[in-house]
Structure 1
Amino acid sequence: MAALLELSRSGYYKWSAAQAAGPSPTVVRRGGLDAKVAAFHAASDEVYGSPRILADLREDGETVSRKTVAASMRRQHLRGISPRKFTTVTTIADAGRATPPDLVKRTWDTGQLDRVWTSDIT
């Protein structure tokens, strides 16, 4: 059967022994950590990202790194909500201010040299 499926005999026996032994301690810890990460994420109304969940886990007594928490969140497809970046407002239009008259009626190219001159304050 191993030859038909193009598997090595030793690979099959290794897989069979792993199945009989049950989950490894790493897999068990990862499952427990995933459950705690999901619980803390849900408790934060799905707002917290890995740094805040890490702080909650450490407060709860877990010894874990931020990268482990981030990997757990990726496995579970969980994402924190980041605020939008702050953008400064550089121009505030004054509706009551008088605007200068448009003497060229937005016609910049009249076909003749030195007829229309413009400038830019920047």
Structure 2
Amino acid sequence: MNRYQFVDDHQRRHGVKRLCDILGLARSSFYYWRRTAAARAARQTAEAGIAARIRKVHQDSDGTYGAPRITAELHDEGGPAVNHKRVARIMRTIGLEGVRLRRRHRTTCRLARALRAVHHVASHEHFALSIMSSRSPTDVMVVMGGVGSVTCRV
């Protein structure tokens, strides 16, 4: 139940002005909500029909199609025009997802591992001394390791 519905349910007993003041609502917002109730109900009915069509297309594809393909199928079937963003929103609300075939590849290593590698390399005194004597403070070095590479300012 939203706040406007609460005001609508209790307005005879307490009055709209008092309830809106207590709940921190503008009375004009309440009256706008009440005036647009029919449009909201029509939109919910339309979305229920679209959700049924989306479920059918999703089942026909064995659960593999996502929002872009389902939108294309709905356009091919005919019926009312449906935007891909609306299809994606309805799919989220009814809990449908397409299959993702691409694997995620980790392109960078975690910061803790990188810092351990730098600390390990810098802890060897002879390595640190040879670098400090041969480089200026503004040089940048790249430390290659088993995890990957780490760029350090020396």
TM-score, normalising length: structure 2: 0.44
Aligned to 2:78: 61
Q: CA deviation at 1:56?
A: 1.8
Structure 1 residue aligned with 2:58, among 35, 41, 47? 41
Q: Could you tell me how far apart the structure 2 residues matched to 1:8 and 1:65 are?
A: 33
Summarize the alignment of residues 14-53 of structure 1 with structure 2, pairs less than 5 Å apart: 14-19=32-37, 21=38, 23=40, 25-53=42-70
Deviations 1:25-72 (A, max 9, x none): 544433322221122112222111123212321221042333332232
Q: Could you tell me how far apart the structure 2 residues matched to 1:2 and 1:11 are?
A: 9
Aligned sequence identity (%): 35
Q: Which structure is higher in helix share? A: 2
Q: Could you tell me how far apart the structure 2 residues matched to 1:64 and 1:7 are?
A: 34
Q: Could you tell me how far apart the structure 2 residues matched to 1:50 and 1:60 are?
A: 15
Report which structure shows greater RCO (CA 8 Å, sep ≥6).
1
Q: Does 1:2 align with 2:20?
A: yes
Q: Secondary structure at the match of 1:23?
A: helix
Aligned to 2:97: 79
- Structure 1: 5+ residue runs without aligned partners? 86-122
Q: CA RMSD in A?
A: 2.4
Amino acid at match of 1:71: R
Counterparts in 2 of 1:42 and 1:8: CA distance versus 1, 3 Å: same
Counterparts in 2 of 1:9 and 1:52: CA distance versus 1, 3 Å: closer
TM-score, normalising length: structure 1: 0.53
- Structure 2: 5+ residue runs without aligned partners? 1-18, 104-154
Q: Could you tell me how far apart the structure 1 residues matched to 2:82 and 2:47 are?
A: 11
Give the length in aligned residue pairs: 84
Larger Rg: 1
